[in-house]
């Protein structure tokens, strides 16, 4: 490596992207340090995928500068992509042929030749645990297998940076868990990882740092714990009421929200969430007041979803809708 190790792998400076008069990404600054697992979070349409496309040079920014491995991606896309792996949201696999054939064809796009090509293909079949299905046509494989194959394909060139666009969207929980451990293993082996997700839980489990996107801008950035600490408090108390909160928040809730322990309160539809370093006293007060409105109360740790709610004023699902 000729770069200093402290040089960031990805650096975005004042990056915007417009399609006609529609601005999809707006003034984004972003630094992904080497060896980090970095998450871009946000609802569909927040500008995550477009940001990734600019990072691997599939599209040029309208304004600003994108540097990867110290190269200007717009000028030197080949140099950047030779050292980067990208897993697309759609797997874009050859459905008619086997995983092995898919990998071989893709290896040639990286100019690998036999015997090195075969060696690399066999390595990847083992590493992503695809060997049992290596010779079946891809269309016969499950979604989890296909996604693992797509990831195997993007590791063909031993990338220093692996970019994953919504790696676990549409997969069942067991498959997601398995993929998470694959991603963790890659990170341990020194690969820098940049991923997008709209699952806040995924980001909390995998990422060292996250940037939260809303409407093309980064609204917050930091480690998941930092974000929760800065923007909210450690614990959340969720209360459900029957009708839409709106202007008419029931009296018990108003009382709890005005409690000095309560750092922040949010009402979304029929749900109000109160945040505090410790929600036990709030819960006690609710019970003392006989819970006149009959709220169902759930105490839980605050999470990134809460941060997202706090910062954008709506839930991810609402933003996506």
Partner 1 sequence: MRLSPRHAFSVWQRNATMYGRTWKFTLLPNFFEPVFYLTSIGIGVGSYLQTMGGVPYAEFLAPGLICVAAMNGVSYEVTYNVFVRMNFEKAYDAMLTTPILPDDILAGELLWALTRSTLYGSVFFLAVLLFGLTPGPFAAGALLVVPLCGLLFGAIGLTYTMLIPGIEMFSFYFTLFLTPLFLFSDVFFPIDERLSGGWLLVAEMLPLLHPVRLTRAFFRGDMGWLMLWDVVYILGVSALLLAQARRAIRKRLTT
Residues that bind partner 1 (CB under 8 A): 19, 56, 58-60, 77-79, 81-82, 84-86, 88, 90, 92-97, 101, 104-106, 108-111, 153-154, 156-157
Residue 55 contacts residue 68 (beta carbons within 8 Å): yes
- Closer residue to partner 1 in complex, CB, 78/188: 78
Nearer to partner 1, 15 or 84 (CB): 84
| Distance in Å, CB of 94 to partner 1, minimum | 7
Minimum CB separation of residue 266 from partner 1 in Å reads 38
Edge-to-edge order in the sheet of strand 271-276: 264-268, 271-276, 235-240, 296-301
Q: What distances in angstroms separate CA 284 from CA 241, 249, 251, one per listed residue?
A: 18, 20, 16
d(CA 154, CA 133): 18
Q: Kindly tell me which of 109 and 300 has the beta carbon lying closer to partner 1.
A: 109
Min. distance of Cβ 86 from partner 1 in angstroms?
4
Q: Measure the CA–CA gap between 129 and 141, rounded to whole angstroms.
A: 13
Q: How far is 227 from 256, CA to CA, in rounded Å?
A: 24
Please, what is the angle between helix 143-154 and helix 99-109, to 10°?
A: 30
Task: Give the shortest CB-72-to-partner 1 separation in angstroms.
Answer: 13
Residue 79 or 136 with smaller CB distance to partner 1: 79
Distance CA 80, CA 71 (A): 7
Rounded to 5 degrees, what angle do the CA atoms 103, 109, 111 make?
105
| Residues 43/316, Cβ–Cβ less than 8 Å | yes
How near is the Cβ of 194 to partner 1 at its closest, in Å? Answer: 13
Q: 87 vs 315, which CB is nearer to partner 1?
A: 87
Q: How far is the CB of 82 from partner 1 (least distance, A)?
A: 5
CB closer to partner 1 out of 157 and 272? 157
In the complex, minimum distance from the CB of residue 106 to partner 1, in angstroms, rounded to a whole number: 7
Provide the strand spans (E) within 269-320: 271-276, 296-301
- Return the structure tokens found at 256: 């709890």
Our CB check for partner 1 shows the closer of 94 and 268 to be 94
């Amino acid at each position: 490596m000729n770069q200093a190790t402290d040089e960031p792998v990805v650096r975005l400076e004042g990056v915007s992207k417009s399609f006609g008069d529609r601005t999809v990404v707006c003034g984004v600054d972003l630094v992904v340090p080497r060896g980090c697992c970095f998450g871009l979070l946000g609802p569909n349409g927040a500008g995550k995928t477009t940001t990734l496309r600019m990072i691997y040079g599939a599209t040029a920014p309208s304004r600003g500068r994108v540097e990867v491995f110290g190269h200007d991606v717009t000028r030197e896309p080949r140099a950047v992509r030779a050292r980067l792996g990208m897993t697309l949201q759609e797997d874009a696999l050859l459905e008619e042929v086997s995983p092995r054939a898919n990998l071989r064809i893709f290896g040639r796009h990286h100019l690998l030749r036999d015997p090195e090509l075969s060696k690399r293909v066999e390595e990847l079949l083992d590493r992503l645990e695809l060997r049992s299905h290596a010779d079946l046509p891809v269309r016969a494989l499950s979604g989890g297998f296909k996604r693992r194959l797509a990831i195997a394909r993007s590791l063909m060139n031993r990338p220093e940076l692996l970019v994953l666009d919504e790696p676990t969207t549409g997969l069942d929980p067991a498959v997601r868990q398995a993929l998470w451990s694959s991603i963790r293993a890659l990170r341990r082996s020194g690969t820098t990882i940049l991923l997008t997700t709209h699952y806040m839980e995924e980001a909390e489990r995998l990422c060292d740092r996250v940037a939260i996107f809303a409407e093309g801008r980064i609204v917050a950035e930091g480690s998941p714990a930092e974000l929760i600490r800065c923007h909210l408090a450690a614990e959340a108390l969720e209360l459900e009421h029957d009708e839409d909160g709106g202007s008419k928040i029931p009296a018990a809730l108003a009382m709890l929200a005005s409690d000095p322990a309560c750092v922040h309160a949010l009402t979304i539809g029929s749900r109000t969430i109160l945040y505090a370093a410790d929600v036990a006293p709030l819960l006690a007060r609710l019970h003392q007041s006989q819970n006149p409105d009959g709220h169902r109360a759930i105490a839980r740790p605050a999470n990134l979803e809460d941060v997202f709610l706090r910062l954008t004023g709506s839930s991810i699902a609402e933003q996506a809708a």
